[in-house]
Structure 1
Amino acid sequence: MSARRSLLALTIALGTAIALTVLPGTTAQAATSPNVVVRWNQALLSAVRAGTLGPPMVARALAITHTCAHDAWAAYDPVAVGTRLGGTLRRPAAEHTQAGKAEAISFAAHLAAADLYPAQRAEFDALMADLGYDPADPASQAARTGVAACQAVLGHRHADGSNQSGGYADTSGYAPVNAPVVVADPLTTLNAPGRWAPLTFVNRAGVLVTPPFLAPHWGGVTSFSGAARSLADGVPAPYAYGSSGFRTQAAEIVSGTAALTDRQKAIAEYWADGPSSETPPGHWCLFAQQVSARDRHGLDQDVKLFFSLSNAVMDAGIASWEVKRDHDSARPITAIRFLYRGQRIPTWGGRTVDGASWTPYQVSTFPTPPFAEYVSGHSTFSAAAAEVLTRFTGADTFGGQAVVARGSSLVEPGVVPAQDVTLRWATFSGAADEAGMSRRYGGIHFRSGDLQGRSLGRAVGAAAWERAQAYWSGRG
């Protein structure tokens, strides 16, 4: 288990799920009793880690759960309106109590979480019991309100183009133009060097797999802000195969990964968020949990924070996958192998290899995520989340840090890093930039894919923020 995962397991056991500390000089204190919004976020992230959904599906699940919570809460606010039923569920002012809000939120979140992660239903039931509720008995007014709010959201989202009922299987008819590339074998030929190619490799279970392009239909999922797809369509095209830019971006990855420092390697692994993790959207929920504790949020604040944040990352997934599908661009592992086959090139670990066998700085059981390179999902998710956190808190001030323990690398176990490495983020935007850069250090994204992803993410986050504000201010 990596250093970050060890720390995360510890903090979950303590009931905070904040896998971070804060920089010296801040006034943050850990929350001793997280409110129900944070508790449901923690429960959902636990389900994410135990499940197999990819980043865009995880982002959607987070958004649905927190939208259900928001819409249930809105019925107990004098101004806010729900995303589906507006103000029709509004309860009398006398019922606008913290207890009423918490109960409505919990019944709504439970219904959503069980719909999205049915295999983890027992864990969600256990949380309800711990909170003092019986999910099988939504008899109180607050429970009925929460269920009604969530049913409306689920009805909408079940027809949002994600194909949840079909296991999120592709509905677009996508087929790769390249045959699978066997990672263990030197590359000899590639039909379309500038296009995405499936990879064949041995996964963590020891099984030879060839994952298909993950959710190529995802750009058609209904956007929260309504602007995700149009923003994606405004992103310029990546460098085409045969251009000087294509060759330059590949050379940059070759030289960069060959010269990685321990700190850069630690950054690459800390932000990887691959299988069995909370994935990039969930990673930013951990940061939001820290902000909640740091700023001593009440229930109302966290409803709004997680509602706006989760919908921003959902739209980031929609937008980035729209770009990925439109351009179907090659990952560095295939582009570099094709360009440098038959040549000896430097690589990480102080080695030289035949370019046809080059691998990125990733664990061999997950050498590159199974979808197109351009744009970087990490960069888009992270920039969108940072934009919302900055706007919500009123300042681009974070103060987070994480320690990557000596020898904890999964790529070079026991060797890297040679000493503990502390990652510090004074600002949300700085953390987002590092998340984007981590994918270049890891050798799975090019510079343009990172930078254009960051730009797209900021625009997506701003649009989601404006839409979220409209709901809780009563403008709908």
Structure 2
Amino acid sequence: MTASEGSPDPGFSTRRRSLLIGGLGTASTAVLASLAHGGAASATPSKAAAATGFDLDTGNFIIELISPFQPAFNVIAPMDVTVLHRFVHLSVVSWFDATAPYHPTRVGLHSRLGRRPSSEAATNRNKTIAALHANYQVIKGVEPRREPDFRAVMTSIGLNPDDESEDRTSPVGLGNLAGKAVVAAALRDGMNQLGDVGRRYNGKPYADYTGYRPVNTPFELEHPSRWQPNLGPHGRRLGGGGGDLGIFVAQQFATPQLRLVKAHSFGDPRQFALAAPDHIDHTRPRDYRRSVDEIIEASAALTDRQKVAAEYFDDKTMGLGQSVGFAAIAHLDRLTLDDMIDLGFTTSVAIFDAMIACWHQKHRYDAVRPFSAIRHLYGRQKLTAWGGPGKGTVDDIRGDEWSSYLNTGDHPDYPSGSTVLCSAEAQAARRFLGDDVLNLRHVSRAGSTLREPGRSPASDVELFYPTWDAFVKECAISRVWGGVHFKKTVERSIVFGEQFGDLAYRWAQRYIRGDVDN
């Protein structure tokens, strides 16, 4: 593990010890309970923040205020996973840059605000104030739909979100400057946030400008090895329910321009080799059929626990977001607040860079998804598989009626984005923390699944991942259980994703240690 130099803030150390020995304050008890039981999304942010009794001098803002299991950080509006992780990454970078002036060696990524003199205390309070103001600037500039919730959190702990000071001697000024620098860098990063690339009027935020066109239509699979946009209800929700009756919309490849965004830890995504997806090449009929049959077999054997796991990992604020929090808590006896910021920075870089490389390969291979291959191969033949919400396993579902348990993502199959990101994050955390310990625990209450609300699971289900290795393996196979990726796709994606954890760790260490040009 890479720990911060110098002595940790004594108030924070006391709080860490109380967490470990079980003398948990109101805030930490609520946080750990929400971690184990899926978060507190139903609470309003202002009430949640007030209930924590958060203390600027001793509190951990990452876990107690804006982590993925707190309302201010939850997804409040639909967005693609690439847009979500970009926002999360920019937020974490803002924490890193805003607190760099209070760190003995760290230098910011998008701002170089100097180092505060030793006579000025690098306190938990100053770091927290700087980080929260920086994050607020990112929210205003990148995801303003979250602004009301975040304002409520800030005001509930005595901060003024309208303070636009740029005084470099104050934590508010440092936070504002750092956050604004992150936003400025993001606006022209290649993701087309403003939607004005190639157009002057009526911008379309995050729209593709690369000219990608699928070879198949939603109605005809002319090339059985290539991606086919799916049809789904207009306004569908994460679990597949809801939507406007009688209206169906076709998928589009979400943010194919991501492959053109500049990564942190490497120069060109084309430098990373990934074998062609021969397992879903229709000119290799035995391999193609085997891959399809593995999906059907998994569908037929789908259990309540598998449904819970599939939904858990499909929700990226839960699977990817909570995992780093659990890892931090598992190592809290030796992590300062600075270390937790550095851990978040390292794993966020790993996810972001892995996502760029993954999208390059998705665009390159443009590979077919299971729903298309099953319908192509079996047509009107009857299969034994999951029959849809509340139907369980049936033995007379036609191939052209088959549906995956999870919603199929708006992009090609190969590689699996979820698996690549889980693997990259896990390896970055392993390198930073020096071991494989995770201890992630999640309880899904009876009847709480999104796909089958009130029906599954029949009783409470607990997911437990003692190690990152167990976490990654289940993240991968859950995509097969969910029916959205082929088995060989996820197996190869584990190996492909891991390398970005190593790259991110080495790259982040340079900024943590200050081994970069100022």
Shorter chain as denominator, the TM-score bin is 0.7 to 0.9
- Greater shift in the superposed pair: 292-301 or 235-244: 292-301
1:236 aligns with 2:275: yes
Residue among 96, 100, 104 paired with 1:78: 104
**Runs of at least 5 residues in structure 1 that lack an aligned partner in the other structure:** 1-10, 23-30, 182-188, 274-279
Structure 1 letter corresponding to 2:393: G
The corresponding residue for 2:118 is 93
Structure 1 letter corresponding to 2:192: N
Matching of residues 368-387 of structure 1 within 5 Å = 368-387=408-427
1:48 Cα offset (Å): 4.6
Residue among 314, 330, 345 paired with 1:307: 345
Relative to structure 1, is the Cα distance of residues 375 and 177 closer, same or farther in structure 2, using a 3 angstrom cutoff? Answer: same
Relative to structure 1, is the Cα distance of residues 13 and 354 closer, same or farther in structure 2, using a 3 angstrom cutoff? Answer: farther
- Render the CA deviation track for 1:232-290: whole Å, top value 9, x for unaligned: x41111122221322211111112211223332332233222xxxxxx26532212223
The corresponding residue for 1:344 is 382
1:66 Cα offset (Å): 1.0
1:356 aligns with 2:385: no
1:465 Cα offset (Å): 1.3
1:384 Cα offset (Å): 1.1
1:196 aligns with 2:227: yes
The corresponding residue for 1:155 is 184
Relative to structure 1, is the Cα distance of residues 270 and 42 closer, same or farther in structure 2, using a 3 angstrom cutoff? Answer: closer
Residue among 6, 11, 19 paired with 2:35: 19
Matches of 1:44 and 1:368, distance apart in 2: 27
**Contact 1:228/1:315 (<8 A) preserved:** no
1:473 Cα offset (Å): 0.7
**Contact 1:409/1:417 (<8 A) preserved:** yes
Matches of 2:275 and 2:151, distance apart in 1: 47
The corresponding residue for 1:285 is 321
Structure 1 letter corresponding to 2:228: A
**Contact 1:56/1:318 (<8 A) preserved:** no
**Contact 2:306/2:481 (<8 A) preserved:** yes
Matches of 1:310 and 1:417, distance apart in 2: 32
Matches of 2:121 and 2:130, distance apart in 1: 11
Structure 1 letter corresponding to 2:95: A
TM-score when scaled to structure 1? 0.85
The corresponding residue for 2:444 is 404
The corresponding residue for 1:7 is none
Structure 2 letter corresponding to 1:125: R
Matches of 2:268 and 2:312, distance apart in 1: 28
Residue among 125, 140, 161 paired with 1:114: 140
Q: Percent identity over the alignment?
A: 30
- Render the CA deviation track for 1:408-429: whole Å, top value 9, x for unaligned: 3443444433333322211012
Structure 2 letter corresponding to 1:90: R
1:393 Cα offset (Å): 2.0
1:225 aligns with 2:265: yes
Matches of 1:237 and 1:48, distance apart in 2: 36
Matches of 1:282 and 1:225, distance apart in 2: 25
**Contact 2:76/2:145 (<8 A) preserved:** no
The corresponding residue for 2:206 is 168
Say which SS state the counterpart of residue 470 (structure 1) adopts: helix
1:104 aligns with 2:161: no
The corresponding residue for 2:479 is 439
**Runs of at least 5 residues in structure 2 that lack an aligned partner in the other structure:** 1-26, 39-51, 196-204, 237-241, 387-391
Relative to structure 1, is the Cα distance of residues 469 and 32 closer, same or farther in structure 2, using a 3 angstrom cutoff? Answer: farther
- Render the CA deviation track for 1:389-442: whole Å, top value 9, x for unaligned: 222222101122222333434434444333333222110121121011101011
1:136 Cα offset (Å): 2.1
1:17 Cα offset (Å): 8.1
- Render the CA deviation track for 1:50-79: whole Å, top value 9, x for unaligned: 122211111111111111110111111121
- Greater shift in the superposed pair: 237-246 or 463-472: 237-246
Structure 2 letter corresponding to 1:152: A
Matches of 1:73 and 1:247, distance apart in 2: 54
Residue among 162, 169, 174 paired with 1:136: 162
Say which SS state the counterpart of residue 102 (structure 2) adopts: coil
1:178 aligns with 2:203: no
Say which SS state the counterpart of residue 452 (structure 1) adopts: helix
Say which SS state the counterpart of residue 174 (structure 1) adopts: coil
- Render the CA deviation track for 1:8-60: whole Å, top value 9, x for unaligned: xxx999456852279xxxxxxxx985522332334987455212221111111
The corresponding residue for 2:373 is 335
The count of corresponding residues between Structure 1 and Structure 2 is 439
The corresponding residue for 1:389 is 429
1:270 aligns with 2:312: yes
Relative to structure 1, is the Cα distance of residues 342 and 377 closer, same or farther in structure 2, using a 3 angstrom cutoff? Answer: same
Say which SS state the counterpart of residue 401 (structure 1) adopts: strand
Residue among 303, 306, 310 paired with 1:261: 303
Structure 2 letter corresponding to 1:20: A
The corresponding residue for 1:64 is 90
1:228 Cα offset (Å): 6.8
Matches of 2:508 and 2:71, distance apart in 1: 22
Relative to structure 1, is the Cα distance of residues 268 and 120 closer, same or farther in structure 2, using a 3 angstrom cutoff? Answer: closer
Matches of 1:370 and 1:220, distance apart in 2: 18
Structure 1 letter corresponding to 2:210: S
1:335 Cα offset (Å): 0.8
- Greater shift in the superposed pair: 403-412 or 205-214: 403-412
